[in-house]
């Protein structure tokens, strides 16, 4: 499957050694991507909030070379990080038809995250989207007739080949990835900003990430996605995601908090229900995840504050709430929830603007 649009024409400029840099944020899905087809095509459409503070900063140093192999080194916080090599090599292999020039350079990929190491926060979305932005910035130096919009689209397209959810981190706000018949322009190949009216409350939404378990996950997302093949509930799950996204359209417009909370929490629990009912089955939730969820439900009932939770493929809890309740909810987190976090650690984040160039 080749997507002609993203295959560049003949290079017009030879370039010397240099560097480009981008920061790109993580994102948190409201309707989840879980299950995929070949070529990183999602089994169902998803939508996420782009985050603001949880980011990867990547500088790509490039120098021309002649051999026909990939040549690159990865550094995390200034130290060689060989663990990342296989994932990045796979990324280069997958993007080669669309960025054949990656074989013409040696790369030093210098990267760092703003969130704590091994916090259990998925760094693949921010990491792959930052690297994809660097790659298209390099392309921009070599080719003419490319506009900024196209480059962002291509970055999202490439990022998807590195890690599916990464394609939702290039743009800010709410980002949709995957074809939905009622979302005009939605694509399986790239993320795009949600195209319809969004109530102000969602433009400044808050996400407190409670670090329940900072250890390495027992089951990677890639393995989890694969277990959706032959999963007894897969088809109804994929239909449910379509329905949820459809239901979100009027909710995102009106700011209907109850509607939003119901869909977001159902999505989180369904994601984990899929893991618990796959073959082999597994559980990524921890006892403290459930303690936190129950406390959120009690707090919401007692205060009527529209706070809810969502989950990634891990034990950490994302607490979502409107900005106007930030002070109250953050006191609640500090006093009642942080004790269930590893070393009482949590990160306060909010909806952000997507990838940004780092000025040298």
> Between residues 29 and 201, which has the closer beta carbon with respect to ligand DP6?
29
Least Å distance, CB 69 to ligand DP6, is 24
Name the minimum Å distance from CB 349 to ligand DP6.
15
Residues 6+ apart with CB under 8 A from 43: 33, 34, 35, 36, 37, 228, 234, 238
* Residues 138, 31 contacting (CB under 8 angstroms): no
Which residue(s) pair with 110 in the sheet?
A: 59, 75
Question: Please, which residue, 50 or 206, has the CB nearer to ligand DP6?
Answer: 50
Helix/strand number for the chain, H first, E second: 8, 14
Residue with tokens 């629990």: 269
Contact residues for ligand DP6, defined by CB under 6 A: 29, 32-34, 40, 46, 122, 124, 163-165, 221-222, 225, 271, 312-313
Q: How far apart are CA 146 and CA 148, in angstroms?
A: 7
Pick 164 or 172: Cβ nearer ligand DP6: 164
Place of tokens 């009932």: 301
Give Rg (Cα) of the chain: 20
The enclosing H or E element of 63 equals strand 46-64
User: What does each C-alpha distance from 28 to 96, 117, 199, 226, 308 come to in angstroms?
Assistant: 28, 18, 18, 21, 13
Q: Nearest approach, Cβ of 237 to ligand DP6 (angstroms)? A: 12
Q: Is the Cβ of residue 225 or residue 244 nearer to ligand DP6 in the bound state? A: 225
Cβ(179)–Cβ(187) below 8 Å: yes
Least distance between ligand DP6 and beta carbon 164 (Å): 3
CB of 255 to ligand DP6, least distance (A): 23
Which CB sits closer to ligand DP6, 117 or 344? 117
Nearer to ligand DP6, 122 or 138 (CB): 122
* Position closest to ligand DP6 via CB: 164
Query: Cβ of residue 125: shortest distance to ligand DP6, in angstroms?
Result: 6
């Amino acid at each position: 499957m080749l997507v002609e649009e993203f295959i560049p024409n003949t290079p017009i400029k030879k370039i010397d050694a240099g560097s480009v840099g981008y920061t790109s944020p993580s994102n948190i899905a409201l309707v989840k991507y879980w299950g995929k087809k070949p070529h990183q095509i999602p089994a169902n459409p998803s939508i996420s909030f782009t985050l603001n503070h949880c980011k990867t900063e990547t500088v790509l140093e490039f120098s021309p070379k002649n051999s026909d192999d990939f040549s690159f080194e990865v550094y995390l916080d200034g130290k060689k990080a060989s663990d990342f090599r296989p994932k990045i090599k796979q990324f280069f292999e997958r993007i080669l038809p669309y960025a054949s020039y990656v074989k013409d350079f040696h790369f030093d990929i210098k990267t760092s995250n703003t969130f704590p190491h091994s916090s259990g926060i998925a760094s693949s979305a921010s990491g792959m989207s930052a690297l994809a932005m660097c790659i298209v910035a390099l392309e921009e130096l070599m080719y003419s007739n490319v506009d900024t919009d196209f480059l962002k689209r291509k970055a999202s397209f490439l990022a998807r080949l590195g890690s599916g959810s990464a394609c939702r981190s290039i743009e800010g706000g709410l980002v949709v990835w995957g074809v939905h018949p009622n979302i005009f322009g939605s694509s399986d190949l790239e993320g795009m900003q949600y195209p319809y009216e969004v109530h102000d409350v969602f433009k400044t939404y808050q996400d407190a990430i409670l670090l329940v378990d900072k250890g390495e996950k027992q089951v990677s997302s890639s393995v989890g996605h694969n277990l959706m093949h032959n999963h007894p509930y897969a088809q109804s799950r994929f239909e449910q995601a379509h329905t949820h996204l459809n239901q979100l359209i009027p909710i995102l417009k009106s700011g209907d908090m109850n509607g939003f909370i119901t869909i977001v929490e159902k999505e989180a629990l369904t994601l984990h229900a899929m893991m618990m009912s796959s073959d082999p089955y597994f559980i990524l939730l921890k006892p403290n995840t459930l303690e936190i969820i129950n406390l959120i439900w009690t707090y919401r009932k007692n205060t009527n504050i529209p706070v809810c939770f969502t989950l990634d493929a891990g034990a950490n809890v994302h607490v979502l709430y409107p900005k106007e309740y930030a002070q109250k909810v953050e006191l609640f987190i500090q006093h009642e929830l942080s004790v269930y976090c590893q070393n009482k650690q949590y990160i306060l984040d909010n909806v952000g603007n997507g990838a940004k160039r780092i000025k040298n």
